[in-house]
Structure 1
């Protein structure tokens, strides 16, 4: 006997976690830009060089929670 399922259970893990290629590219670019800011620019946004480098060196898949949808 053959059973046909009518469910369309498609898994899109990237979409469920808010990860798209363009999101990862934007995150990479913003982290690289942060790493290249001058000490004066970092002081303007209220972070120091160590915090900027920690953020810049986070893995690409480590998205801020507010980006996940």
Structure 2
């Protein structure tokens, strides 16, 4: 069985199909990075002291609620 690299497979696809795949991959990569960033931010908030939270106007309960949200729950996507 002959194997092909991805570049040679993409060359044989019609242009709109190649664009669709590249857009899908790009958007998927961006979404994964966004989820990673949300998880990092929530971990960082959860590690802050109560005094630091008070300085930025949040309570420990606010942060616990935010930190318990799943990584895919993006507040900007509502």
TM-score computed with the length of structure 2 as normaliser: 0.60
CA RMSD of aligned residues (A): 2.8
Structure with the bigger percentage of helix: 2
Number of equivalences = 61
* Higher relative contact order (Cα pairs below 8 Å, separated by 6+ residues): 1
For structure 1, which runs of at least 5 residues remain unmatched after alignment? 1-6
Q: In the alignment, is residue 22 of structure 1 matched against residue 1 of structure 2? A: no
TM-score computed with the length of structure 1 as normaliser: 0.67
Residue-by-residue CA offset, 1:19-66 (whole Å, 9 max, x unaligned): 61111111100000000100010001101000001001101110012x
For structure 2, which runs of at least 5 residues remain unmatched after alignment? 1-15
